Structure 1
Amino acid sequence: MKAFLQVDHLKKSFKNTTILKDISFDVNKGEIMAILGPNGAGKSTTIRNIMGIIYPDEGNITFEGKQQIPRNKVGYLPEERGLYKNVQVMDILLYLAELKDYPRKKARERALAYLKKFGLEGKEKTSVEELSKGMGQKVQFIASIIHEPAFLILDEPFSGLDPVSQELFKQEIRDLAANGTAILLSSHQMNLVEEMCDRLFLIHRGQKVIYGKMDDVKQEYANFKCTIKGTNKREDVEGLPDVQRVEQRDDTTILYLTKDIHIASWLKQLPDQLEVKELSIDRISLHEIFIDIATDQNMLNEGEYERA
């Protein structure tokens, strides 16, 4: 894939506090790239540097090899929504499209099509302040893509959406990527990130922690876990080989296992006295990887991971 955005050795400080420490990643055309991290990790600062809202102290940001931001090719859905409340829906969409030098007639056609797709048909003359939170989110999303951007930043795009609307957004985001849009997505909903994104860049304390393809990252970091339903004593499983950690919740015991175990052989070592109503073995989720890093539990493999 060809990169639309390249971020190279980005550094940023405010007064005596270093926020970004040598950040580098790229976003390719036609892919959905996740930028993740706990609150205060540096995600918003990175996005604001990309958008030209603030400027880095060191490093380069290039769009198709050029340092100037192609504003008519960039779409941005900010985490803090910012539509004018006393303006009608169609008027705000046409105004924002005009700021991107997009033809008015075509913008109107696309606005009507998207309003219908997202269940807002007939809301063209409704003022933004009359919309529910979910409806306002849909309008803001339409505003970010109405001009057919080549590069799209989505910051918490699923916030305030019901499950049906989430599915609509997910499909639209996938369709945009399939048509060649480079997408940088930030979200705390790890299940959606894991489901949708091709690659991820995880930042913590202003530094890269994980960077690579989603499948490779899971294989590298997502150790196996065994979940057993039944009333069991912790001491019956704590001494088992290849068990790193044990969690118990009511009648459920979760065994976090080492990375390279042979599942079939390991299962033979379970004590006969265990009560097993259900048993499942799978890899830990992206959510659990995120929690591990955010809380410094250090359960992951040591070292840095980078495989683009």
Structure 2
Amino acid sequence: MNILETHNIVKEYANHRALDDVSISIPKGSIFGLLGPNGAGKTSLIRIINQITGPDSGHVLFDGKPLSERHIERIGYLPEERGLYKKMKVGDQLLYLAQLKGLSEKQAMEKLKSWFIKFDIKTWWDKNVSDLSKGMQQKVQFVSTVLHEPDLIILDEPFSGFDPINANLIRDEILELRQKGSTVIFSTHRMETVEELCDYIALIHRSKKVLDGPKNQIKEQFKTNTYYVEYMGILNGLAEQYAVSATREVEPGFHRSDIQLPEGVNSNQLLRDLINQVEVRAFGENIPTMNDVFVRAVNEIPEA
């Protein structure tokens, strides 16, 4: 079951087509990576989902029904450009934003107490937002995004400006929210975070969706049937059927090489041939990272 579906979305601004026939499906309870270079169309799609703008054509379904104003309370949105009221006190601001999302003042107070303890920010309640550092402000805005326990949480570059400790804190909260049943759309340029957190991805490039599906399946599609080996000795008698590349010394006496297997040859046969020549210290398949997938997918698309 999908929490959100976009069908054939088209969005134009003046002479620029920001989205061109974009369809994606986001399964309930997943962390979904929305990827793409700057200017690809990600922000335009996020704004349509949040009903900040509307599509020129196509439609959006939320939980199987046409997206409408009544769904706003079920969505939490953390924009890349943060938007807190600088001269307002943190506690007053969070109470106000929570009530905009449908919570009563009593409900909001109860939830805020829990979050202030969890994030160790109890002394911030009467501080003006302008008195907080950028990272502290981002913590406050994250709380405002998830306080009403939305079914769908949209996070645009949520780790921007965080130190490693607070980035880990937010990461753990994202995983906990998913475990409690929320679905997360995650827009980021940090491929290592996509690698760690996302279950599904969609890649938008030049306004079009060029790739989508379960992360692990997509990585399978981009495999090159290449293995790495770390070894001691000289690797110069391997059969010509193997393509050896990227040989380098990793430490005195040990080298690492990448070896591509031809069709019909499996990794066991390669390992047997290697053992006959060198002392093998490490061996395994080169699994493409999400950064590899991103770069290859974008570079393989011809210029329009």
Scaled by the length of structure 2, the TM-score of the pair is 0.84
Question: Contact between 1:10 and 1:59, CA under 8 Å: does it hold in 2?
Answer: yes
Q: Match for residue 15 of structure 2?
A: 16
> Which residues of structure 2 form unaligned runs of 5+?
none
> Which residues of structure 1 form unaligned runs of 5+?
299-308
Question: C-alpha displacement at 1:179, in angstroms?
Answer: 2.0
Q: What SS class does the counterpart of residue 76 from structure 2 fall into? A: strand
Question: Contact between 1:225 and 1:284, CA under 8 Å: does it hold in 2?
Answer: no
Q: Match for residue 67 of structure 1?
A: 67
Q: Match for residue 255 of structure 1?
A: 258
Q: Which of 259, 267, 270 is equivalent to 2:271?
A: 267
TM-aligned CA distance change 1:30 to 1:232, over 3 Å? same
Q: Match for residue 289 of structure 1?
A: 293
Q: Match for residue 4 of structure 2?
A: 5
TM-aligned CA distance change 1:121 to 1:247, over 3 Å? farther
Question: C-alpha displacement at 1:81, in angstroms?
Answer: 0.8
Sequence identity percentage: 35
Deviations along 1:12-37, whole A, 9 cap, x unmatched? 22222222121111223222111111
- Structure 1 CA distance for aligned equivalents of residues 19 and 116 of structure 2: 39
One-letter amino acid of the counterpart of residue 258, structure 2: L
One-letter amino acid of the counterpart of residue 35, structure 2: L
Q: Match for residue 305 of structure 1?
A: none
Q: Match for residue 32 of structure 2?
A: 33
- Write out aligned runs for 1:111-260 (5 A): 111-228=112-229, 241=241, 243=243, 246-247=245-246, 251=250, 255=258, 257=260
C-alpha RMSD of the superposition: 3.0
- Structure 2 CA distance for aligned equivalents of residues 195 and 33 of structure 1: 12
Question: Contact between 2:238 and 2:274, CA under 8 Å: does it hold in 1?
Answer: no
Question: How many residue pairs were aligned?
Answer: 295
TM-aligned CA distance change 1:28 to 1:297, over 3 Å? closer
Question: C-alpha displacement at 1:162, in angstroms?
Answer: 2.3
Deviations along 1:127-150, whole A, 9 cap, x unmatched? 112222221111110000111212
Q: Match for residue 303 of structure 1?
A: none
- Structure 2 CA distance for aligned equivalents of residues 16 and 232 of structure 1: 61
Deviations along 1:120-178, whole A, 9 cap, x unmatched? 12211111122222211111100001112121111111122222222222222122222
- Structure 1 CA distance for aligned equivalents of residues 171 and 211 of structure 2: 24
One-letter amino acid of the counterpart of residue 35, structure 1: L
Question: Contact between 2:2 and 2:25, CA under 8 Å: does it hold in 1?
Answer: yes
Question: C-alpha displacement at 1:279, in angstroms?
Answer: 4.7
Question: Contact between 1:240 and 1:270, CA under 8 Å: does it hold in 2?
Answer: no
- Structure 2 CA distance for aligned equivalents of residues 21 and 220 of structure 1: 24
Question: Contact between 1:225 and 1:254, CA under 8 Å: does it hold in 2?
Answer: no
Q: What SS class does the counterpart of residue 217 from structure 2 fall into? A: helix
One-letter amino acid of the counterpart of residue 263, structure 1: S
TM-aligned CA distance change 1:254 to 1:289, over 3 Å? farther
Question: Contact between 1:85 and 1:127, CA under 8 Å: does it hold in 2?
Answer: yes
Query: Which protein has the larger Cα radius of gyration, Structure 1 or Structure 2?
Result: 2
Deviations along 1:207-240, whole A, 9 cap, x unmatched? 222211122222222335434557999x969996
